Copies of this chain bind each other. A is one copy, B any other.
Amino acid sequence: VPFRNEDDLVRWLQRRWPDRATNVRLGIGDDAAIVSVTRGSEFALTTDLSIEGVHFRRDLHPPRAVGHRALARALSDLAAVGARPRFALVSLAFPPATRRSWVSGFYDGAGVLARRHGVALIGGDTAVAEGGGIVVDVVAAGEVKRGLALRRDGARPGDLLYVTGRLGMAALGLEMLKSNARRASTTNRRAEGGGIVRQALGAHLYPEPRLGTGRYLAAHRLASAAIDVSDGFARDLGRLCAASACAAIVREESLPLPRSGTLLTSSTGRPRQQTVREARLDPLELALRGGEDYELIFTVPRPRAGRLPRSIKGVALHQIGEIRRGRGLRLLLRSGSEVRLAPRGYDHFRRAR
């Protein structure tokens, strides 16, 4: 057991995460955290599970990445509603044999991301569970000005469809981690000139929730609907369309795919240079189905599109299609033909990763 008991872990966390936020009235160590909310604001609440064997693997993901990703998942939900994150509660259940360094690495990973976004870590729960894997739950609470929250169900036919950043990078990073296992992924991280390698591993291990973009869209009343890409672009776009009772068409040529640069892979244990395509990874498939991009998909009514900048806080915005009447998703290929785009992606209910 890495900490003597639960109280010992709580004291460690209190030292690690002192309450500095002025609106935290009662932080870690009491029965509940007490926070105050600015007048005229509403509170956005989200909770996200991160489960060993489903959302992460201890042999692939370092503890700092597990902590970062667990919090990023929740912050990305706040980005999707345009909220400013204020508080988070991080809960951790772990088997008795878990090392103290794993537990502290995990909390550090969450702590660094929290500080970067001004999020106060104000509580959580802990348990030692025999016979199971590590389970994380992150609760994030944010503020959004009354009536300005973005939601999934506001898209209307004719609205333009956008996505932030780049799609498929996190899935590419995961493929690299999986195929190369430990040794080669270290090699990959060291690879000279391996820009895409570093980017893909970074996108997978340390994703950046698009908080600034979401807040900008909400504050300027630009978006009619928004959702974050957690389970794959096609699946999450399908959810936005289902909630808004409309259809969408996406242009392949406008999608920000992962660049088909050179990777270092080694299924044999010996590093070998390959391009994305040589590694039999289809950039389009990665972009459409790969999960955990934590980019934002959003829609903008045409009259407001002129007010939309090309990028927000350094994150590029790509106009990739539009909303239509009807149901379902369509993909306009570079060839000019239009095909049905199944709203599928990674689904925790279908297979464990």
- Give me the interface of A with B, judged by CB distance under 8 Å: 1, 3-7, 9, 25-26, 29-37, 39, 42-49, 51-55, 76-78, 80-81, 83, 87, 89, 91, 93, 122-133, 135, 137, 139-142, 144, 146, 149, 151-153, 227-228, 231, 239, 242-243, 347-350, 352
Contacts and interface: CB of A to CB of B under 8 A. Distances in A.
A22 to B, nearest CB: 13
Given A32-B81, A133-B131, A47 B47 contact: yes
B348 A48 contact: no
Given A43-B36, A51-B132, A132-B132, A348 B30 contact: no
B45 A139 contact: yes
10 contacts: A26-B149, A30-B243, A31-B76, A32-B46, A34-B43, A34-B83, A47-B124, A47-B125, A49-B135, A51-B132
A32 B83 contact: yes
Contacts of A42: 25, 34-37
Number of copies of this chain that the complex holds: 2
Contact of A91 (B1, B128, B137, B228): B137
Contacts of A139: 45, 47, 89, 139
Given A146-B36, A239-B7, A26 B81 contact: yes
Contact of A47 (B78, B137, B151, B243): B137
A348 B149 contact: no
Contacts of A87: 45
A81 B34 CA distance: 9
A122 B42 CA distance: 14
B45 A33 contact: yes
Given A4-B349, A34-B44, A37-B43, A49 B93 contact: yes
A87 to B, nearest CB: 7
Contacts of A131: 53, 133, 352
Given A39-B39, A132-B133, A139-B89, A46 B26 contact: no
Contact of A53 (B46, B132, B152, B352): B132
Most chain B CB inside 10 Å of its own CB: which residue of A30, A48, A77: A30
A309 to B, nearest CB: 23
A3 to B, nearest CB: 7
Contacts of A54: 93, 127-130
